[in-house]
Structure 1
Amino acid sequence: MDDYSTPHTDPSSPRPQSTVPETGLPPQQHATYEENKRDFKHSGPGIASFIIALITLIGYIIAFVVVGVRSSSLVNGSDSFIADSAEAIFYLGISVLILAAFNVIGGVLGIIGLTLRKRRKVFGIIGTVINAVFLLLFMLIISTVLVNAGSV
C-alpha cells in the first residue's frame, strides 16, 4: 500500500463517537441559551426610587395646595396678616425641605438601581430623572430666594 494514500472507511460502519474520559459516556449537547431582556426582573431600588418620586410629587402638590388655602385668608383681609403668613411660609418651607430630603434618597436609590446588572432599568431611569428634576427645582427656588433676599 502507498504511504501517501488515505485510509478507506466503510460508509455503512458507524462512526466512533468521542467519550468523556471520566464517565465513558458520550458528551451531551448543551443548548445555547440567549438571555432575553424580557426575562430580567425590575430592579428593586429602581422601583423604590420611582415610588419615592411619585410620593414626593403628591407631597409637593398637597403642600402647595394647603399653603394656598391657608394664604387665601391673607387676600381676604384678615387682621392677623403677619402671623398667618409666617405660619404658612413656615409649613411650606418645612414640607419642601423634608420632601427634598426624600428626593435625595430617591435619586441615590435610582442610581443604585441603574448600576445593578441583569435587571431592567426602566424604573431606575424614570425615578432618577424625576427626583433629579425635583432637586433642581428645589435648588432653583433656594437660589432665587437667596438672590432676592440679598437685593432687599
Structure 2
Amino acid sequence: MAPLKHSGPGIASFVIGLVAILGYILIFFIATMAVNESIGVLTPLQTEEIALHPAVALASLAILVCLILNLAGGIVGIIGLVLKNRKKVFAIIGTLLNGIMILLFVGLILVGMTLM
C-alpha cells in the first residue's frame, strides 16, 4: 500500500483559516492606530465620532471579508474531511480553526446585542 496523501481541500482550509486570523489581527492594529492617531485622547463625547470614523467603517467591511473567508474555509474543510483515502489532519485543523473563528464572531455579536 502506498502512503496516504494529504487532502488538498484540507490544506486549503488550513491556509484560509491562517490568512483570516492574520487578517483579523492586521485589521485590529491598523484600525486602532488610525483611530488613535486622528482622535487622540478619548472623551465620552467622542464615542459617536469613533463609530463614524472612516477607519472603523473600512475595518468593519474587512472583518466581514475575513468572516466570508472563514465560511469558505469551513466548507472546504468539510469537503476535505469527506474525501476518502486521504490524510485528514489539515482538514480537521482547518475546519476547527475556521469554525472557532465563526463561533467567536457570533459570540461577539451576541455580547454586543446584550450590552445595548
TM-score category, normalised to shorter length: 0.7 to 0.9
Question: Quick check: which has more Rg, 1 or 2?
Answer: 1
SS in 2 for 1:76: coil
Q: TM-score, normalised by structure 2?
A: 0.85
Work out which of the residue numbers 104, 107, 115 in structure 2 matches 1:140.
Answer: 107
Residue 75 of structure 1 and its aligned partner are, at CA, apart by 3.3
Give the match for residue 43 of structure 1. 7
SS in 2 for 1:101: helix
Say yes or no: does 1:114 pair with 2:114.
Answer: no
The 1:89/1:147 distance shift into structure 2, 3 A limit, reads: farther
The 1:60/1:122 distance shift into structure 2, 3 A limit, reads: same
Residue 83 of structure 1 and its aligned partner are, at CA, apart by 4.7
Q: More relative contact order in 1 or in 2 (CA 8 Å, sep 6+)?
A: 2
> What per-residue deviation string (whole Å, max 9, x for no partner) do you get for residues 68-89 of structure 1?
1012132336xxx555542232
CA distance in 1, matches of 2:111, 2:50: 23
Structure 1 stretches lacking a partner, 5+ long: 1-34
Give the match for residue 75 of structure 1. 40
Q: TM-score, normalised by structure 1?
A: 0.66
Q: Percent identity?
A: 36
Give the match for residue 58 of structure 1. 22
Structure 2 stretches lacking a partner, 5+ long: none
SS in 1 for 2:22: helix
Within 5 A, what are the aligned runs for 1:24-43? 35=1, 39-43=3-7
Higher helix share: 2
SS in 2 for 1:117: coil
Q: Aligned residue pairs: how many?
A: 111
